[in-house]
Amino acid sequence: MQSTHNWHIQATRPILTPRHLADLLPLTPEVIQTIVAGRHAVQSILDRKDNRLLVIVGPCSIHDPVAAVDYARRLLPLRQEFADRMEIVMRVYFEKPRTILGWKGLINDPYLDGSCDIEAGLKVGRKLLLDIVGLGMPAGTEFLDPVVPQYLADLVSWAAVGARTTESQTHREMASGLSMPVGFKNGTDGCLETAVNAMKAARHEHSFLGIDPDGRTCIIQTTGNQWGHVVLRGGKHAPNYDERSIADAVQQLCDAGLPGALIVDCSHANSGKKHTRQQTVWEHIIEQRAAGSPSVIGVMLESNLEEGSQPLGANLKQLRYGVSITDACLGWQDTEALLRRGHELLGGGK
């Protein structure tokens, strides 16, 4: 008889289980302390028990683990120096959603050559998180594939659900079971209702199919995640970081019976996809905070060792160190200057 199964499946390759990976690359007591302290700090900021500004800053995506650790080593002294007014979390993004095609991120294609050795990508990603968090730097990431959290989520202090997946029931259910605060971005069209609905859904219990630490298919039952929040990233027609947009967003959240705490993404549509315009958005938000506005509790910046971006070509030896291969980023010098000036203004400096 003719088969009706897997007509478009070329191959299936088993990989190691989440438990096996965790055994290979285990958490240390120091790493656990950094992760938990980072989660509690973000929760306290969301609950308005901590009036510091949450700053999630780092590369658009990680493609070079050596450069990522280099970045973390530079960021750590600023995290410590500015800790009285900022809670700095490093952006460590491994997965890239694509409108059509393109490199899908370090987990999917760690060798940057289309080989898509996902098992190697999971190992590289977990090792990198251990290295970064081991320095004392909490990490934030976007979860795109709903299986990946079983392999990496124990190392993450803040997570995001992106603009393309905030409307997805799968990702809302996933967020309801994650152990850290989760930011939901507004839709690519600028619509906030999608993110508000995602917050509401993720706060409730869910049951869905997933895998357990031993890789077995199972029913996942969640308690709901009370630390969801909205991330404003602008839309196709306009940014949404201005005072009126923020006030409208807070009102929508209040009307839905949700906390009016927001994070503003200085990149993407808020910067018109021009990396240098992130500085304008940052300055605008810092001014609002310095003037006493309590609604924006956090800011996101896309930043790397060097400014701009570069194409991913066939000759990997031609890649420039510390330069993004996805969205263009601010360089380190501009990043440090922004953080330093922001810290000064948040303290009432002129």
Residue 63's pLDDT is: 97
Which range, of 5-9, 22-26, 139-143, 263-267, averages the lowest pLDDT? 5-9
Alpha-carbon dihedral 161, 163, 167, 172, rounded to 10 degrees: 0
Tokens representing residue 202 in the block: 């993720």
Confidence of residue 2 (pLDDT cuts 50, 70, 90): confident
Distance CA 133, CA 105 (A): 20
Q: Does residue 160 contact residue 144 with C-beta atoms inside 8 Å? A: no
Residue 18 confidence (pLDDT) above 60: yes
Tokens representing residue 43 in the block: 């929760």
What pTM, to 2 d.p., does this model score?
Answer: 0.96
Task: Put residue 270 in one of left, alpha, beta given phi > 0 → left and psi -120 to 50 → alpha.
Answer: alpha
Residue 201 or 100, more confident: 201
Domain boundaries, the chain: 18-293+307-346
Helix (H, G, I), strand (E, B) or coil at 74: helix
Fold of 18-293+307-346: TIM Barrel (3.20.20)
Nearest to 56 by CA among 303, 329, 227, 316: 303
Distance CA 38, CA 181 (A): 10
Residue 100's pLDDT is: 63
Distance CA 326, CA 105 (A): 9
The torsion angles phi and psi of 208, rounded to 5 degrees, stand at: -160, 170
Confidence of residue 99 (pLDDT cuts 50, 70, 90): low
Tokens representing residue 320 in the block: 């420039």
Residue 350 confidence (pLDDT) above 60: no
Residue 86 confidence (pLDDT) above 60: yes
Residue-wise burial string across 319-330, b where 16 or more C-beta atoms lie within 10 A, e elsewhere: beebbbbbbbbb
Tokens representing residue 57 in the block: 């800053």
Distance CA 164, CA 268 (A): 13
Q: Does residue 334 contact residue 299 with C-beta atoms inside 8 Å? A: no
Residue 337 confidence (pLDDT) above 90: yes
